[in-house]
Chains A and B, each alone.
Chain A
Amino acid sequence: SAVISQKPSRDICQRGTSLTIQCQVDSQVTMMFWYRQQPGQSLTLIATANQGSEATYESGFVIDKFPISRPNLTFSTLTVSNMSPEDSSIYLCSVERPAGYGYTFGSGTRLTVV
């Protein structure tokens, strides 16, 4: 299955600033997924990113707040913009495993906004 390198692994940011999270996959994949994981909560899908098209955002998430880039089949970025303490969370990228047998996740970015 694919291996995903995600960075940064953690960051502490000032409110009002932006942070860009990067995910690099060691193989070409059609779709990449971005999740948020808040303490004690299930994984919440932010958006699905296809190469060459606009990302598809889930209800409650908007492009202005979470712009996503997908310049090629192995790379994607998620930006958390104009951050507030409520954005403190773990952010994860994910790809579907070959033949659709589950999903592989990056190691996550632990974001704290102060």
Chain B
Amino acid sequence: QKEVEQDPGPLSVPEGAIVSLNCTYSNSAFQYFMWYRQYSRKGPELLMYTYSSGNKEDGRFTAQVDKSSKYISLFIRDSQPSDSATYLCAMKASGGSYIPTFGRGTSLIVHP
């Protein structure tokens, strides 16, 4: 079992839909959780950063962490064609190594 599991998709939705992207993980030491967006031929850019459990909202984006289930989610409201990209989750433990573990990424297509 990989440390971080993420369905690669693609996930195709109509414009305006609510999108739910998810990752599961096995390492209970993970404390920091991140979501990155990667457009084609670009590097990943940080969207959301959360610590421990709970929700965090930023505009149309909401990150949710459920440590008891080892499950994180990214919700995108009112999705736009410009949201079409690959979304990668990442997580890391506190202290020790600085290195995050990334998911494979989910390809999202928002069609007009």
Residue numbers of A with Cβ under 8 A of B are 1, 4, 6, 9, 31, 33, 40-43, 45, 48, 92, 94, 96-97, 101-108, 110
Instruction: Output the least CB separation between A68 and chain B (Å).
Output: 16
Secondary structure class of chain A's binding surface, majority of residues: strand
Q: Count chain A CB atoms within 10 A of each CB in B8, B34, B41 and give the residue with the most.
A: B41
Assess whether A31 is in contact with B4, with CB atoms less than 8 Å apart: no
* Count of chain B residues near A, Cβ 8 A: 22
Residue numbers of B with Cβ under 8 A of A are 4, 6, 8, 34, 36, 41-46, 49, 88, 90, 98-105
User: Which single member of B36, B99, B101, B105 contacts A48 (CB below 8 Å)?
Assistant: B99
Given A42-B88, A42-B104: A105 in contact with B44 (beta carbons within 8 A):
yes
Assess whether A107 is in contact with B46, with CB atoms less than 8 Å apart: no
Assess whether A103 is in contact with B100, with CB atoms less than 8 Å apart: yes
Given A40-B8, A42-B4, A102-B34: A108 in contact with B102 (beta carbons within 8 A):
no
B8 proximity list for chain A (CB < 8 A)? 40
